[in-house]
Structure 1
Amino acid sequence: MTVQRNVTIWHNPRCSKSRGALALLAERGVDPTVVRYLEDAPTRAELEDVLRRLGTDDPRAITRTGEARYRELGLAGADRDALLDALAANPILIERPIVLLGDRAVVARPPERALELL
């Protein structure tokens, strides 16, 4: 089996879905670059790049709208720019895991969605 080294996963080790996606990739011989996005928050440009790879312009596609911080910041009616700024400043709001390969990405919820990239 060929090991794919150009796969990246935005990972939160405390999240069961994130751990599940990482395990599924490992079972298939994939050794991804693991980005602990809560510790190494993505820039706004990186968020824009992920949205492009997901094939959407809508930051809600990667936003955890059920997070308490989302409500605290009053983001329900926020526009695209405000949401991107909030995601960059509060990485807890970023959906996880996000798996990237080449010019594509998936939000791996459920974790099996990560396999769509392989």
Structure 2
Amino acid sequence: MIKIYHNPRCGKSREGLAIVEESGLEFKVIKYLENRLSLAELTEIIELLGIEPIDLVRQNEPFWKENYKDKRISKAHIMKLMLSNPKLMERPIVVNRDKAVIGRPPENIKTIL
């Protein structure tokens, strides 16, 4: 089943959700701000995306810029920061079996549907 990690307040995330809905495929919406991810879930997402943890961070978020910009931070610490501050995660993220994409731009989602 397709999973979309979604923030309803984000326009890009809403656009991504519309693409998934239009696909006609079965999917599950995960509101990751309300239902925080576990370390195992975040690790799996990062592995499926084929990226480093820092690549999933919204580096223009004020919390990040004020506290971590231009600092060397371990991968483990970055992941802990995303788990405790899920607004730091890029969105939406769509997972379809063994593939995942960040929906920025939202059209990226079509590549795994």
TM-score by length of 2: 0.92
Query: 74-83 or 61-70, which moves further after superposition?
Result: 74-83
Gaps of 5+ in 1: 1-5
1:20-44 deviation per Cα after TM superposition (whole angstroms, max 9, x unaligned): 0111111121342000001111112
Write the mapping of 1:49-68 to structure 2, written as runs, cut at 5 A.
49-56=44-51, 58-68=52-62
SS of residue paired to 2:100: strand
**1:48 corresponds to which residue?**
43
Write the distance in 2 (CA, Å) between the matches of 1:24 and 1:86.
29
After superposition, the CA RMSD in angstroms is 1.2
Write the mapping of 1:65-104 to structure 2, written as runs, cut at 5 A.
65-74=59-68, 76-77=70-71, 78-104=73-99
Change (3 A) 1:86 1:79: same
Write the distance in 1 (CA, Å) between the matches of 2:67 and 2:99.
30
Write the distance in 2 (CA, Å) between the matches of 1:75 and 1:91.
17
TM-score by length of 1: 0.89
- Of structures 1 and 2, the one with the larger relative CO (CA 8 A, separation 6+) is 2
Percent identity for Structure 1 against Structure 2? 38
